[in-house]
């Protein structure tokens, strides 16, 4: 559908905040990736077709039959208590030990990020993220006018020495760091996992410099190999247990269409978050929360996770081996042990935004790297999502991308 261009008469009325709610020039290109003829490595779309729709239908019928009026009504702003009891069981599998009173459900984790930005960030406040970091989080922090400091990531996660230096510097300048935002497991977008030593160090630094860690863990249960590493939340057991706010979502464990996420936080923070929920959405969908409750009440949910893992790990393998076979020397990529994403670095004289334009012409899409940095670094980097396409299309798409990159390198060298 072509975009209708209309003059905006109301520019003078917008809040300052809207200036920071930036749209990206690649959005139009990426919107093409929804077309079935495009091989999409762009969105992190879970394979919801692997779910049993019969089972989901059964849950919804049961809810409407036994609890219909309540499930279609407004509900409490802090979330559906029986679901919280189930979420406690789910989180226990990842070593997070908590109680219903310390949990609030949200409309997906994106809502959680918005709520946390709302209650912590004044314009100009400093926060720290990984660099690269999840675009949705950067957008949320930016829209509340935060000053974002990105700390580089290597194959073991955020660089803790640089983090320490930065925290020291901020302290010297009297700058308060409102929080450190991390995706420690198979990060979006880098695919890397923060080591245990670094998790301990980040926690130690957060305590020393009196700040909070937002630990965003949507992918932790989707580990394909190796032993899981304790969450930072789990490590925060000594002493006061108050430096970590833990975020999770059903988007990758069930389906993003339900829009259910949750936050575990110390009680005083939760009270503020609840006020945020009341002023934004009133309450999370009662129906969605009940569907999630039914899902976790059926022991088959863990089989679904195994099915998801098997699908995604095969797709990861297909992408890694195709990269190995087709990509030219001088390109590098991460090797995730779970989750959805591979991070790609190509020759520094190439620009992945330009490559995207060519790729889309050749019916392949991915996300250029600069959108994952607060300061537009990462021009020769990109995120490749392997979760969406089947293995044959992954192999085909990677071969096409490799061809485009090789052509660009040849062209560049011909001018030298």
Ligand X SMILES: Cc1ncc(COP(=O)(O)O)c(C=O)c1O
Comparison of 116 and 404: residue with beta carbon closer to ligand X: 116
Comparison of 327 and 341: residue with beta carbon closer to ligand X: 341
Quick check: 359 and 400 in contact, CB under 8 A?
A: yes
- The DSSP annotation for 65-122 comes to HHHHHHHTS---TT--HHHHHHHHHHHHTTT----GGGEEEESHHHHHHHHHHHHHPP
Per-residue exposure over 90-102, b if at least 16 CB sit within 10 Å of its own CB, e if not: bbeebebebeeeb
Q: Measured between alpha carbons, how far is 141 from 113 in angstroms, rounded to an integer?
A: 8
Residues 13 to 52 in contact with ligand X, rule: CB under 6 A: 44
Q: Measured between alpha carbons, how far is 376 from 355 in angstroms, rounded to an integer?
A: 16
Report the half-sphere exposure of 83 (CA within 13 A, side-chain side). Answer: 27
Contact status: 190 vs ligand X (CB under 6 A): no
Number of residues that bind ligand X (CB under 6 A): 14
| Shortest separation between residue 148's beta carbon and ligand X, angstroms | 15
Contact status: 183 vs ligand X (CB under 6 A): yes
- Contacting range for ligand X; rule: CB under 6 A; set: 60-68, 104-112, 199-207, 290-298: 104-112
Contact status: 133 vs ligand X (CB under 6 A): no
Quick check: 111 and 90 in contact, CB under 8 A?
A: no
Q: Measured between alpha carbons, how far is 35 from 359 in angstroms, rounded to an integer?
A: 14
Helix (H) or strand (E) holding 160: helix 160-172
Contact status: 136 vs ligand X (CB under 6 A): yes
- Dihedral (CA of 207, 208, 210, 215) sign: negative
Contact status: 256 vs ligand X (CB under 6 A): yes
| Shortest separation between residue 299's beta carbon and ligand X, angstroms | 24
Q: Measured between alpha carbons, how far is 272 from 278 in angstroms, rounded to an integer?
A: 10
The correct pick among 132, 261, 276, 378 for binding ligand X (CB under 6 A) is 261
Q: Measured between alpha carbons, how far is 368 from 352 in angstroms, rounded to an integer?
A: 5
Q: Which residues contact 236 (CB under 8 A, 6 or more apart)?
A: 203, 242, 243, 244
- Contacting range for ligand X; rule: CB under 6 A; set: 108-116, 172-180, 293-301, 398-406: 108-116
Residue number with the smallest Cβ distance to ligand X:
108
Tokens matching residue 245? 């706010």
Binding mask 331-370 for ligand X (x = CB under 6 A): ----------------------------------------
The correct pick among 108, 184, 338, 397 for binding ligand X (CB under 6 A) is 108
| Shortest separation between residue 260's beta carbon and ligand X, angstroms | 8
| Shortest separation between residue 172's beta carbon and ligand X, angstroms | 31
| Shortest separation between residue 213's beta carbon and ligand X, angstroms | 14
Comparison of 260 and 350: residue with beta carbon closer to ligand X: 260
Q: Measured between alpha carbons, how far is 126 from 288 in angstroms, rounded to an integer?
A: 35
| Shortest separation between residue 123's beta carbon and ligand X, angstroms | 23
- Contacting range for ligand X; rule: CB under 6 A; set: 21-29, 85-93, 249-257, 301-309: 249-257
The correct pick among 114, 130, 216, 236 for binding ligand X (CB under 6 A) is 216
Binding site for ligand X (CB under 6 A): 44, 108-110, 134, 136, 183, 188, 216, 218, 249, 251, 256, 261
């Amino acid at each position: 559908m072509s975009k209708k261009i209309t003059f905006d008469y109301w520019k003078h009325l917008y809040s300052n905040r809207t200036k920071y709610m930036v749209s990206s020039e690649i959005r139009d290109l990426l919107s093409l990736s929804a077309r079935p003829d495009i091989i999409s490595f762009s969105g992190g779309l879970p394979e919801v077709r692997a779910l049993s729709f019969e089972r989901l239908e059964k849950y919804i019928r049961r809810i409407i039959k036994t609890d219909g009026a309540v499930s279609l009504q407004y509900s409490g702003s802090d979330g559906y208590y029986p679901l919280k009891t189930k979420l406690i069981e789910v989180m226990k599998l990842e070593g997070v030990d908590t109680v219903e009173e310390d949990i609030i459900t949200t409309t997906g984790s994106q809502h959680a990020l918005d709520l946390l930005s709302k209650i912590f960030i004044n314009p100009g406040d400093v926060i720290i993220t990984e660099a690269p970091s999840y675009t949705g989080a950067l957008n949320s922090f930016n829209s509340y006018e935060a000053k974002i400091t990105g700390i580089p990531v290597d194959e073991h996660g955020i660089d803790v020495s640089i983090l320490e230096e930065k925290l020291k510097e901020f302290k010297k300048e009297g700058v308060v760091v409102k929080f450190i935002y991390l995706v420690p497991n198979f990060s979006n977008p880098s695919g890397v996992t923060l080591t245990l030593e670094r998790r301990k160090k980040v926690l130690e630094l957060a305590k020393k410099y009196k700040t909070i860690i937002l630990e965003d863990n949507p992918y932790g249960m989707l580990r394909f190999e190796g032993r899981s590493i304790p969450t930072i939340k789990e490590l925060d057991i000594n002493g006061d247990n108050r430096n970590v706010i833990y975020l999770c979502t059903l988007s990758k464990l069930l389906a993003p269409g339900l829009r259910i996420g949750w936050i575990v936080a110390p009680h005083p923070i939760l009270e503020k978050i609840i006020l945020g929920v009341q002023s934004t959405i009133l309450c999370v969908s009662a129906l969605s929360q009940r569907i999630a409750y039914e899902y976790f009440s059926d022991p088959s949910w863990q089989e679904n996770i195994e099915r998801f893992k098997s699908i995604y790990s095969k797709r990861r393998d297909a992408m890694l081996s195709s990269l190995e076979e087709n990509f030219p020397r001088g390109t590098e990529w991460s090797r995730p042990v779970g989750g959805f994403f591979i991070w790609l670095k190509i020759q520094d004289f190439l620009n992945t935004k330009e490559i995207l334009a060519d790729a889309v012409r050749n019916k392949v899409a991915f996300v250029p790297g600069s959108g994952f940095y607060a300061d537009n670094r990462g021009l020769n980097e990109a995120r490749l999502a392997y979760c969406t396409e089947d293995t044959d299309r992954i192999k085909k798409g990677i071969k096409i991308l490799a061809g485009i990159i090789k052509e660009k390198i040849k062209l560049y060298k011909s001018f030298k």
